Structure 1
């Protein structure tokens, strides 16, 4: 009988792409992959350490696995596994913890899957995470996350990612294109480029610090791969998003008009405390440049509330800055202290209640911004890619500029692209639509 393995992924798109690659490697070793809610011989949890909640959630997921099979072998991998392996191995039921470099060779560590009285930790010093493992995830049939870069050389004072993932390094252009072609061959219509700091692409190729290629080289090369209908840039630092890249996306048939650009704070004083590599004037410049040449572009923003030293005045500065900016939605993160970061020792700690109140205010602003963006697109003719789930009698999809639409469920629409016209915003906040041409559906 083949052994069964199940995976649970916490955190970012990058984690999802790595889980997929690790899963494929175990299938090659003779495992059968099953769902996490099914009976399995081994459960692998890919962890995240960006927020406190991700840490807490780990224990809940271990219990979930034990409920399905109390005798199952449980392995933890990922960022939290690299940062705090001793904490994870101490959780009842965990047999194996693998760090940043070891996770890709999980088959070498699992042996006969027998439970141990003492769990094992295999975790390198993070300085040893200096080689690159390419990966991609196919979460559903419509889109894939393609990893192009890993690690980060930035020293943001709130962030543990460099400690968990090591130095900035990239996949070779040749390998990225090979992976993109493999994805295209599986009839997947959209690729989302992912990494820790993808604008830094090219650094550390073949283990050196010289940029063999730039992010613009990568974008131009991917634009030529046959069989990919859409390419989406997941998240790129404002200081690394160059005019040439924006200009190229504007004229590309494949790269979609959607940028996600982390801001973190609308206060220059806080950006300096965070050791970000830009100030608000550069951010304004990037947004204006995009909107000038791609007026229907969707722009998403990451922002942190409750950073040490954030006074009411600083917060309102951020709120007004975002309110006045021509952006489309926010990802709001409530600051949480992380060990071994500079910010954890800073003065001016913001009470949790205040952090949560500020977070609510920005989430409400995000709803307002998204609605205003959707309203600006009503009447437009766009192309939608339909997803695979029946949600209360509707099928959902995203336009190229990330407007979420719905139409009555039809299984033949799954993973198909159609020219549509946006009609109105429904009560649930999604946009209703009509087909521009009656779709020919088999």
Structure 2
């Protein structure tokens, strides 16, 4: 057993990347490797990269150095979006031995029979048009929640985004395979599944390319609601134009789907939305929020927003700020625009200075704190269900209510992966919520 090779993984970016890392890791286990933490000594270090922001790019070199500090003779492989977009850049990083593009990453074990270090990273990449097949994935990060990939790629042409270049056309898993993966997750005792993909609401594009698929996103939601053993289902992020009334209404009556929606907005200015080539205007976004509030008044609604897009004047930014301030939402994820090669936006006039981008980002992050506090206060003195997670953080165990209120309790390992009826009582100084136990749910 001592001769078994050890492999470690580091994942940058989104939930989709985490689900794919888990699938790649399982392929290593099937080949007789032992998985260890990235901080430990390993024979192979696999870095799953992201290229949504500049920071993710810069992090890559730091992570490679970290791996080689643990074992300077280790074999280092890079996969993921950055590996597809700029394989030569990654291959040139000191210590990188192998770079795999979008079509090769799930075959990583086929490339690592020789673990000797290379002078220059070996590249196996492809034209992104060849990424027209689908590989299902799911991740199990802890014992309470799994990310289930149901869709990959994107057919949208947003002017700031490189994801279509990194992941290819929109394509979906078969319903049969999604249900099989969900059953496998349930069999491991996991209570919550988070649906993930590049453009989840686009589920229904062909399994291979854009061939007609026999199911829709609404079909998927209805089927997943029947998986035995799964207590909670959560939609990770869905475009406002793809979030239909039928889905919102179904969630409001669902057995398992929780009242939590994360809906990208990106800008509250129609002028900027058009420059971004988004597929909706702010009026439709406001309609989606109003519909959710109508049937799910206690729902948590999260928003993605980008600041500093080319052409965003002070007046247009304030349109976004006031639109969000007036909207009945629960929190924001704020992204500072960063220039990406091979996008339309990088050639646009009206570049916003870095210090102005930073100031706008700070303003919206402050608004997010205010919104989250108001949402938490609106949930006080009401009954909820909490699912506790597995990590001991400074003597506390944390969990989330069905509508994504974060709570904490003194650490007790017996609470891990258990559901409880609770009554929210008070917001602590750290912004988390205190509660009284009502009963444990079997």
TM bin, normalised by shorter chain, reads over 0.9
> Is the partner of 1:255 in helix, strand or coil?
coil
Aligned residue-pair number: 440
Residue 427 (str. 1) matches residue 429 (str. 2): yes
Contact 1:234 1:259 in 2 (8 A): yes
Question: Which of 272, 279, 284 does residue 281 from structure 2 map onto?
Answer: 279
Conserved? CA contact 1:131–1:207, under 8 Å:
yes
Counterpart among 212, 215, 224 of residue 214 in structure 2: 212
Distance 1:433 1:41 in 2: 46
Within the candidate set 218, 226, 229, 2:228 is matched to 226
Quick one: which of 104, 109, 113 aligns to 2:111?
109
Q: SS state of the match for residue 47, structure 2?
A: strand
Aligned mates of 1:12, 1:389 — CA distance in 2: 20
Aligned to 1:270: 272
Contact map agreement 1:59 1:91 (CA 8 A) in 2: yes
User: Aligned ranges for residues 36-115 of structure 1 at < 5 Å?
Assistant: 36-115=38-117
Matched, 1:400 2:378: no
Q: Deviations 1:308-341 (Å, cap 9, x if unpaired)? A: 0000001000000000000000000000000000
Alignment of 1:298-317 (within 5 A): 298-317=300-319
Counterpart position of 1:25: 27
Instruction: Report what 2:293 is aligned to.
Output: 291
C-alpha distance in 2 between matches for 1:263 and 1:337 = 19
Verify the 8 A CA contact 1:40 1:69 in the aligned structure 2: yes
By how many angstroms is 1:300 displaced? 0.2
Q: Deviations over 1:378-433 (max 9, x none)?
A: 01100000011122221110000000011111110000000000011000000001
Q: Is the 8 A contact 2:421 2:441 kept in 1?
A: no
Return the alpha-carbon distance in structure 2 between the equivalents of residues 425 and 385 of structure 1: 18
Matched ranges for 1:47-196 at <5 A:
47-196=49-198
Distance 2:136 2:148 in 1: 8
2-side partners of 1:394 and 1:62: how far apart? 32
- Following TM superposition, by how much is the alpha carbon of 1:207 offset from its aligned partner in structure 2, in angstroms? 3.6
Whole-Å Cα distance in 2 between the matches of residues 206 and 20 of structure 1?
A: 22
Q: Distance in 2 between matches of 1:356 and 1:395?
A: 34
Is the 2:267–2:320 contact (alpha carbons within 8 Å) kept by the matching residues of 1?
yes
Once the two structures are TM-superposed, the CA of residue 116 in structure 1 deviates from its matched residue by: 1.2
How many Å apart are 1:205 and its aligned residue? 2.0
CA distance in structure 2 between the aligned counterparts of 1:237 and 1:127, rounded to whole angstroms? 24
- 4+ aligned runs moved over 4 Å, structure 1: none
Q: 1:140 offset after TM fit, Å?
A: 0.3
Give the aligned CA root-mean-square deviation in angstroms. Answer: 0.9
How does 1:342-381 map onto structure 2 within 5 Å?
A: 342-381=344-383
- Paired with 1:158 and 1:209, the residues of 2 have a C-alpha distance of 27
The structural deviation recorded for 1:440 is: 9.0
- Residue in structure 1 matching 2:261, options 259, 262, 287: 259
Q: Which runs of 5+ in 1 are unaligned?
A: none
How many angstroms does 1:208 deviate by?
3.5
What's the secondary structure of 1:38's corresponding residue? coil
Please tell me whether the aligned partners of residues 169 and 209 of structure 2 are also in contact (alpha carbons under 8 angstroms): no
* Offset of residue 88 of structure 1: 0.3
d(CA) in 1 for partners of 2:349 and 2:87? 29
Indicate conservation of the 8 Å contact 2:419/2:441, yes or no. no
Q: Distance in 2 between matches of 1:286 and 1:209?
A: 29
Unaligned runs of 5+ in 2: none
Residue 152 of structure 2 contacts residue 167 of structure 2 at CA under 8 Å; is this kept in 1?
Answer: yes
- Residue of structure 2 equivalent to 1:197: 199
